[in-house]
Amino acid sequence: MGKVTAGFFSFTEITEPSEHRAYNEWHQLDHMPEQYPLDGIVAGQRWVSTPACREARLASDPRLDPVHYMTLYLMAEPLEQTLADFRDLAVRLRRADRFFTHRRARLSGPFDLSGEAAAPRVVVSAAAVPFRPNLGVYVVVEEVPRDVAGPGPGGPGALLAVDGVAGVWRFDASDRPGAGHWDGGGHRITVCYLDRDPLAAAADLGPVLRAGWAAEGSSPVLAGPFAAITPWEWGWFDHPGPVARR
């Protein structure tokens, strides 16, 4: 494993439909850049559940059904200090009136990295997968029975065999000091990094995921594709009907 030991997830709903462009401008041009000077922040990316991605969801529990975006910051040790710095920065930005108000985090918090794998075809190591350019991710959030400690839905081998899945990282809710400020809800999150159109990959991942859930007995809370975001191309929600991403 590389220097990343945890991921901070935020599954975000925009509460005012007309504010998507303002949110994207704030997050990509102001909020996210301010995280990188922190010592423990290794990388970060945010993806969008476009109207077409939303239609392609395999599971969407009411708790996470309103989610429009998912952000993932990759963090390094010492995690307790990284989380403290991360939280302190958020407080400073709020005091400076540099926080976006028309948003709600439906699930937010640190998750320990518990597994990583790369498809042999991509050549790079499993630890390098998140730093490889992607077209999007397929994300699975599960409630996992206490006696389950398996490799995730379908196992990484089954997921990596799907066309377009470059790698798979799995995260489990953290109970380390400093994590208590947020509530990970005891969930497990699996992130499939995609180098194929997310909607096409989603169609092929469906049967694999269903088989994995049936075998393991886990309960999906959210399962669906999210598209990569190109700066200044923020028009997915400007149209009344589903819009296919270019």
Distance of CA 159 to CAs 74, 77, 198, Å? 22, 29, 14
Which pLDDT belongs to residue 143? Answer: 85
CATH fold of 4-228 reads Alpha-Beta Plaits (3.30.70)
**What are the pLDDT digits (tens) for 46-101?**
999 999 999 999 999 999 999 999 999 999 999 999 999 999 999 999 999 999 99
Which pLDDT belongs to residue 184? Answer: 60
**What are the pLDDT digits (tens) for 5-49?**
999 999 999 999 999 999 999 999 999 999 999 999 999 999 999
Segment 175-189 shows an average pLDDT of 71
Segment 195-214 shows an average pLDDT of 96
Segment 146-159 shows an average pLDDT of 68
Which pLDDT belongs to residue 242? Answer: 44
**What are the pLDDT digits (tens) for 217-230?**
888 999 999 999 99
Confidence class for position 180, pLDDT limits 50, 70, 90: low
Sequence ranges of the domains in the chain? 4-228
Q: How far apart are CA 215 and CA 208, in angstroms?
A: 11
Which pLDDT belongs to residue 246? Answer: 33
**What are the pLDDT digits (tens) for 183-198?**
666 789 999 999 999 9
Q: How far apart are CA 65 and CA 217, in angstroms?
A: 21
Which pLDDT belongs to residue 214? Answer: 87
- CA-based nearest residue to 90, from 43, 16, 38: 38
Higher-confidence residue of 43 and 240: namely 43
Which pLDDT belongs to residue 243? Answer: 40
- CA-based nearest residue to 183, from 63, 103, 98: 63
